[in-house]
């Protein structure tokens, strides 16, 4: 058969995406992860409409347990915990979305260019990546907040500019294998420039693998933002799940709901993203998918995992 051309490779991508989406829809892990993630995003996006009151406003007696009036109870100042959790999810969603977008752009571009070009370009970009990877994100964020002030924008920038190195390495590994593929060689033979090959053929091919790491990055960003707020280094004018957890530590025995509900919100957000990452990894990794199919085939009456003909 003739070597794959850029046109045929491009035409195969929509079919591959549809097949991957069908596999993801039939994965219990993927369905659960998507449900949790979508629920968190919707709750955070609609926090202004869903929250019963302003999270910083006193609305009832302090330290009242969950009831019909306050589904998650009230804190020591009489503020509605449900309102605080919803607005905290909105903060986590904003921080994760913007920081991961920033880290994703940097990581994908650096990794794709390094892997495709190779040589000195690869060496320089990887040394820069190692410098950023050697910097502990959490302590760097603490120093940045201490020097520049506790603002949400500062936290987002620090987390975004320090979260891309691992993603860059994953994308670089994919680009190293892609630059030797037939459709890339065909594009070069037809006179396409390196920039065009990189943008039209290499980048779209590395994005599926990048999504796995992006989901994990989003989960880690949520945890880091909550940790900073727990230490009192978050924006004091913005409600955060970490702030709620910090405020609850003095009332663990008398008002358990102040700690449990913000903690559960963090767990749900991180668990959903982790399950999505694991499901996408199963779909994109043929070895894992094939091994699970063999294991399923060994059981009488079982269907192979990830069937596309349902």
Q: What is the pLDDT along the chain (310 residues), one digit of tens a residue?
A: 444 444 444 445 555 556 566 676 678 888 999 999 999 999 999 999 999 999 999 999 999 999 999 999 999 999 999 999 999 999 999 999 999 999 999 999 999 999 988 889 999 999 999 998 888 888 888 888 888 877 888 889 989 998 999 999 999 988 888 887 887 778 777 777 777 888 888 888 888 788 889 999 999 999 999 999 998 888 888 999 999 999 999 898 899 999 999 999 999 999 999 999 888 877 776 544 444 444 444 444 444 444 434 3
Instruction: Please indicate, yes or no, if residue 269 is contained in any of the structural domains.
Output: yes
Instruction: Please indicate, yes or no, if residue 144 is contained in any of the structural domains.
Output: yes
What SS3 state is found at 63?
coil
The whole-number pLDDT of residue 21 equals 62
Asked whether the beta carbons of 1 and 8 are under 8 A apart, the reply is no
What SS3 state is found at 52?
coil
Instruction: Please indicate, yes or no, if residue 303 is contained in any of the structural domains.
Output: no
Which two three-digit tokens encode residue 135? 């910097």
Give the Cα separation of 284 and 179 in Å (integer). 19
Q: Is the dihedral of CA 268, 270, 274, 276 positive or negative?
A: positive
The whole-number pLDDT of residue 19 equals 58
Instruction: Please indicate, yes or no, if residue 19 is contained in any of the structural domains.
Output: yes
Q: Is the dihedral of CA 272, 278, 284, 289 positive or negative?
A: negative
The number of domains in the chain is 1
The whole-number pLDDT of residue 272 equals 94
The whole-number pLDDT of residue 294 equals 44
Give the Cα separation of 75 and 101 in Å (integer). 34
Instruction: Please indicate, yes or no, if residue 87 is contained in any of the structural domains.
Output: yes
Instruction: Please indicate, yes or no, if residue 63 is contained in any of the structural domains.
Output: yes
Instruction: Please indicate, yes or no, if residue 236 is contained in any of the structural domains.
Output: yes
297's CB contacts (< 8 A; 6+ apart) are 304
The whole-number pLDDT of residue 240 equals 95
Q: What predicted TM-score, i.e. pTM, was given to this entire model?
A: 0.81
Identify the CA nearest to 103 among candidates 41, 30, 170: 170
Distance of CA 217 to the CA centre of its chain: 5
Longest dimension (CA), the chain: 76
Instruction: List the CATH number of the domain containing 10.
Output: 1.10.3720.10
Specify which residues 80 forms β-bridges with: 74
Instruction: Please indicate, yes or no, if residue 38 is contained in any of the structural domains.
Output: yes
Structural domain containing residue 27: 6-297
113 membership: H or E segment, kind and range: helix 81-117
């Amino acid at each position: 058969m003739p070597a794959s051309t850029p046109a045929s490779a491009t035409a195969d991508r929509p079919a591959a995406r549809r097949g991957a989406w069908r596999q993801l829809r039939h994965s219990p892990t993927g369905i659960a992860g998507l449900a949790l993630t979508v629920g968190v995003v919707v709750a955070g996006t609609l926090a202004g409409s869903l929250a019963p009151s302003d999270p910083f406003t006193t609305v009832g007696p302090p330290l009242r347990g969950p009831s019909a009036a306050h589904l998650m109870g009230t804190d020591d100042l009489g503020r509605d915990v449900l309102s605080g959790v919803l607005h905290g999810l909105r903060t986590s969603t904003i921080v994760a979305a913007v920081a991961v977008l920033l880290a994703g752009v940097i990581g994908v571009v650096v990794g794709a260019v390094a892997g495709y070009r190779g040589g000195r370009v690869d060496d320089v970009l990887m040394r820069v990546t190692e410098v950023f990877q050697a910097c502990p994100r959490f302590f760097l964020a603490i120093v940045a907040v201490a020097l520049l002030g506790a603002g949400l924008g500062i936290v987002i920038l620090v987390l975004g500019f320090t979260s891309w190195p691992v993603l860059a390495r994953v994308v670089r590994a994919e680009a190293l294998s892609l630059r030797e593929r037939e459709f890339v060689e065909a594009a070069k033979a037809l006179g396409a420039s390196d920039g065009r090959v990189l943008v039209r053929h290499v980048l779209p091919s590395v994005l599926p693998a990048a999504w796995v790491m992006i989901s994990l990055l989003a989960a880690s960003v949520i945890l880091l933002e909550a940790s900073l707020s727990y230490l009192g280094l978050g924006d004091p004018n913005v409600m955060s799940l970490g702030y709620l957890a910090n405020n609850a530590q003095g009332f663990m025995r008398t008002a358990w709901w102040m700690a449990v509900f913000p903690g559960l919100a963090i767990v749900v957000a991180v668990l959903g993203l982790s399950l999505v990452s694991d499901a996408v990894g199963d779909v994109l990794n043929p070895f894992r998918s094939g091994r699970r199919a063999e294991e399923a085939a060994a059981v009488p009456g079982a269907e192979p995992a990830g069937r596309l003909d349902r």
